Structure 1
Amino acid sequence: MASGEKQTSQYLTFSLDHEIFALNIETVREVLDVSTLTRVPRMPAFMCGVINLRGSAVAVVDMRRKFSLPAADETVNTCIIICEVTIDGEGTVLGCLVDAVQEVLELDRQEIEPPPRMGTRLETGFIQGMGRRGEQFILLLDLDRVFSTDELLQLQRQEQAPAV
């Protein structure tokens, strides 16, 4: 790469409880309106259920619940971001229920700060970095690290179930 050439990445930004989060656009497949969810017994509390996505069952996670945020009513802006996460080197499709999708944002490497150090009591390993737009910080998520391996394996088993 020539000196002075910028290295940028694109992120899909979304809101949860008035905070802005972002996923690397390379992990995002599509954004859907909220559709009928089929509840699945004995799944983690943060899992809403599964949707039928072109004949495949896709697990949908309520990102508010996953991040221990207060529940909120669905609005016309509530949507599901279909993403791909990696489990043991294998890609798995997952839906993320969010309050609203904002925009695709391009950030230069210099516009991304490392995750904040919050001591040993808080887990911040799922944060890739902190982007900045004006005075507002955007939490750049590493979706592969948002969930534990056990949670992802449980979701992957659900994805392999027959579509409803």
Structure 2
Amino acid sequence: MEEENKRDISSLAGKYLTFMLGEEGYGIEILKVREIIGVMEITKVPNMPHYVCGVINLRGKIHPVVDLHSKFGMGVTENTNETCIIVVDVEKEGKPVMVGILVDSVSEVLDISANEIEETPQFNISLDSQYIMGIAKVKNEIKILMDIDQVLADGMGLV
């Protein structure tokens, strides 16, 4: 069992785009990131879950935008000069779908090695542990490695 967990952790090594939600640092696999854009006009759509801000028109294509603060019960994202939308590719029925995620700020791209990653501890935090692939300790900071596919697939109908 421990050998199996080590293999799972080693498969998480790679490049991650890191960003902030409140005071916490998070990372998503860089291969999931399509682009990073400043906050633009978001059109509200009726009858969407509370954490879906609405949709954006990005180069003629319409994409939903999810407020990760709202999704994780952390209130609503306050727009600042650093607030941005990370456009990610996720899969729905085997096809790529682009979804925007609203975050407080983008930090950097980190190359995280397997020995910097630990299993997800089981504890009660605002981010449900099913959304966490692992916890990385990099440059004396902790980064929560987020399973963005799971976050966006869970109960949304968007993906």
Tell me the TM-score normalised to structure 1 length: 0.83
Q: Deviations over 1:51-96 (max 9, x none)?
A: 0011110000001001111334210000000001122322210000
Q: Do the aligned residues in 1 keep the contact of 2:134 with 2:146 (CA within 8 Å)?
A: yes
Q: Do the aligned residues in 2 keep the contact of 1:87 with 1:149 (CA within 8 Å)?
A: no
* Residue of structure 2 equivalent to 1:61: 66
* Residue of structure 2 equivalent to 1:12: 17
Tell me the TM-score normalised to structure 2 length: 0.85
Kindly provide the amino acid, as one letter, of the partner of residue 110 in structure 1.
N
Pairwise CA RMSD of aligned residues?
Answer: 1.9
Change (3 A) 1:49 1:131: same
Tell me which stretches of 4 or more aligned residues in structure 1 moved more than 3 Å. 147-150
Larger radius of gyration, structure 1 or 2?
1
3-state SS of the aligned residue for 1:144?
helix
Q: CA deviation at 1:37?
A: 0.6
Q: Tell me, in whole angstroms, the C-alpha distance in 1 between the residues paired with 2:135 and 2:64.
A: 27
Q: Do the aligned residues in 2 keep the contact of 1:46 with 1:61 (CA within 8 Å)?
A: yes
One of 107, 111, 122 as aligned partner of 2:116: 111
Unaligned 5+ runs, structure 2: 1-9
* Residue of structure 2 equivalent to 1:28: 33
3-state SS of the aligned residue for 1:71?
coil
Q: Do the aligned residues in 2 keep the contact of 1:77 with 1:99 (CA within 8 Å)?
A: yes
